Structure 1
């Protein structure tokens, strides 16, 4: 005979799983975009507070040279991970036994990193050392760069003159063979002139960037990204026993960001600063769920769409002044926050035990932040019309979390969870050098009354080792043996 686990006896065992489960390290993922508040029975409301702190430290790259993948352990980078906190709210109500409505608030994506100390991500003001590092060892000092720029410019001028001379001789040649020979020499000389001029411009850019770095002495690289999201949901239950439910609704999202690149790690981009103003745009959510209350079974699959934002952006790029442009520009930037798929599952194991599982997928390979001025300048190094993004990722994120809850008394239950986050690639952006994590968590829920409950939980995170890279794919840092923790508290009300 099949066991029946009445949901009422298991209610208290649905403990603090979602309290501290929001600590996704891949890409800019934060809250995990949980929708389980809408899947609760009857009238339900919750308020959740989460605090996350990590120790993310490592070393910069002491290697100076042309090999982008080469790494030599450099100076110590102290903890760059700023602690952060956020709230999540949810309210759900049944209109009748078929239709339900709900509204959810969370802060789905974000970043907070701040470099300090004596390393390549902090402007140090040593002009000659900066010229040497930013030029990749092509000039040992500002004076050496000036001398070489003069030599390269003179060589380019001579090669240009030779190209013009060969071209003139091709025009006056008496035979087709002679004309072709002079034309070939003219082309070779012109190519040499362009190469030498490019090398001179590159050294000039290194000097200009080094001077910009000196102007921001003591400032460190930092980034802060914030988002807020409000989701409205309408659900409809189907089937003879109302076991199936389809649900969906609109999503309103706001995004803002600030980024400052400092230190010789960023080469000519040192001194770059951008502010992306807050903007509000819209997407949608859709899902389907199946429940079997007699065994406390609930399974839900939820899809969230991409959301396209067009935001005002202010950029300051000191190098642009040396290139003859305006180093301070205002423009528009298009950012698309990624779609996602969440799968949530729970089932009763026995009268007092509940098992849960959560799987999340986010395609971070589709995401990029491409500031217009930064991108335009980067085309000089890429030599194409695509340029480079400021932030991008090489892999998609997978998150898996398993849990078990045990009711210890009519009012008290405890939970345990283990989890794995794949991260979004290694190497990864130097603004968030973590390759996912493993986690273990504990939580508890206490029913204050028949309707009110309080939950609390904590999770320990073992961050994956990762090398930091800048948009040119040059390795600039190495981070290993890092960890962190997440703490959360939830107050909930439920009337069935």
Structure 2
């Protein structure tokens, strides 16, 4: 079993979270830590979502207008470097953009949220150390330094807008893995801690202009990832990711006042994301893989700034290898789960159906 097939497993696994629940984007993968020797990689992802909804005629003030596509295209970038200290110890430095949102309702739409927008950006740098034990088990852990910044404009709520300054927080990573190299078997379990922030927040609305602090915590999560050879040059891989989205919220002071305790962004349920795939080496230079992804629909109302509920996906990838370089490309089609939003009172404000997204990813890795 060659590392070329394993590289595709890593790319397709991370691609499954490019349009996952909450504002999950990278999946916080640490697969670079398990590469052989000294290794460096760079990855780029592009996602083109199409998400639109319709306000039902019976519920003012929504009218019957279509929202238009309210999700902008976005890019993600990642990089990693891994090296061995000795036969038992190795380390990795990983950069990713774990959480993000780009919402932009067309201003000319005949829709109650026309002109509303929101943006959430994050950057994380993770330093990991891994210790191999004699019995095929290993433990890994380290520190994650992460920055976030956010802004939003919601004209239909008292002409409200908000800007959150960039803030930095620190969390940790801890996990365990089991490997059997002769059959390309690896199972890893990794915990990512929550990270807390006190964001300086500038709010503007009919209440005036006010500057306060907003407490934000990016959620804790657990990644269970596996791969194993099942035949010559054939690999099965997959994983489960749990994210504690039910504990996440952004609730600036003035927004809560204007909405009677409402939150700018929050989620009722945790999210589980599943993936399963198979990879096959075709020759010394080419390998291919396919995977499926699933995220359960939880029901209930979704946020007007994130009107999705679960998804299903299908991905294909290919890897070209030459000397110490491997280039992996993948494409994933995501069927976005239907969702309903509300303006309060337990009534439906809009219905979002038949939406989808296409994600394209490229990863270049070097062993040296």
- The two structures have a TM-score, normalised by structure 1, of 0.71
Higher strand share: 2
The residue aligned with 2:117 is: 222
Shift of 1:471: 6.2
Q: Please, which of 5, 22, 25 is the counterpart of residue 27 of structure 1?
A: 22
CA distance in 2, matches of 1:255, 1:315: 17
- CA distances 1:39-64 after superposition (whole Å, capped 9, x unpaired): 22221211010000111112124334
The residue aligned with 1:331 is: 212
The residue aligned with 1:113 is: 103
- CA distances 1:109-129 after superposition (whole Å, capped 9, x unpaired): 111111113323356xxxxxx
Query: 1:249-398 to 2 correspondence within 5 Å?
Result: 249-263=142-156, 269-318=157-206, 320=207, 327-379=208-260, 387-398=261-272
Contact 1:306 1:336 (8 Å CA) reproduced: yes
Contact 2:59 2:349 (8 Å CA) reproduced: no
CA distance in 2, matches of 1:122, 1:285: 39
The residue aligned with 2:53 is: 58
The answer to whether the aligner puts 1:486 opposite 2:359 as a matched pair is: yes
Shift of 1:12: 2.2
Contact 2:20 2:273 (8 Å CA) reproduced: no
CA distance in 2, matches of 1:81, 1:277: 23
The residue aligned with 1:82 is: 72
CA distance in 2, matches of 1:249, 1:425: 36
Shift of 1:469: 2.5
- CA distances 1:200-259 after superposition (whole Å, capped 9, x unpaired): xxxxxxxxxxxxxxxxxxxx001111011111001111125xx11101011101000111
Gapped regions of structure 1 (runs ≥ 5): 1-6, 66-70, 124-219, 264-268, 321-326, 380-386
CA distance in 2, matches of 1:105, 1:246: 21
Query: 1:73-152 to 2 correspondence within 5 Å?
Result: 74-116=64-106, 117-122=108-113
The residue aligned with 2:9 is: 17
- CA distances 1:62-119 after superposition (whole Å, capped 9, x unpaired): 3346xxxxx9971112111100001011111110111111111100111111111332
Contact 1:81 1:113 (8 Å CA) reproduced: yes
CA distance in 2, matches of 1:388, 1:246: 42
Contact 2:16 2:313 (8 Å CA) reproduced: no
CA distance in 1, matches of 2:172, 2:286: 37
The answer to whether the aligner puts 1:442 opposite 2:312 as a matched pair is: no
Change (3 A) 1:315 1:429: same
Higher radius of gyration, 1 or 2? 1
CA distance in 2, matches of 1:472, 1:250: 43
User: How many residue pairs are counted as aligned between the two chains?
Assistant: 364
CA distance in 2, matches of 1:473, 1:39: 48
Query: 1:428-467 to 2 correspondence within 5 Å?
Result: 428-449=302-323, 451-467=324-340
Q: Please, which of 267, 289, 292 is the counterpart of residue 415 of structure 1?
A: 289
Farther-moved stretch of structure 1 (34-43 vs 457-466): 34-43
Q: Secondary structure at the match of 1:14?
A: helix
Change (3 A) 1:58 1:481: same
Higher helix share: 1
CA distance in 1, matches of 2:294, 2:144: 27
The residue aligned with 1:402 is: 276
- CA distances 1:404-433 after superposition (whole Å, capped 9, x unpaired): 000000111000000102256542001111
CA distance in 1, matches of 2:159, 2:252: 15
- CA distances 1:239-283 after superposition (whole Å, capped 9, x unpaired): 25xx111010111010001111123xxxxx241100011001100
Root mean square deviation of aligned Cα: 1.8
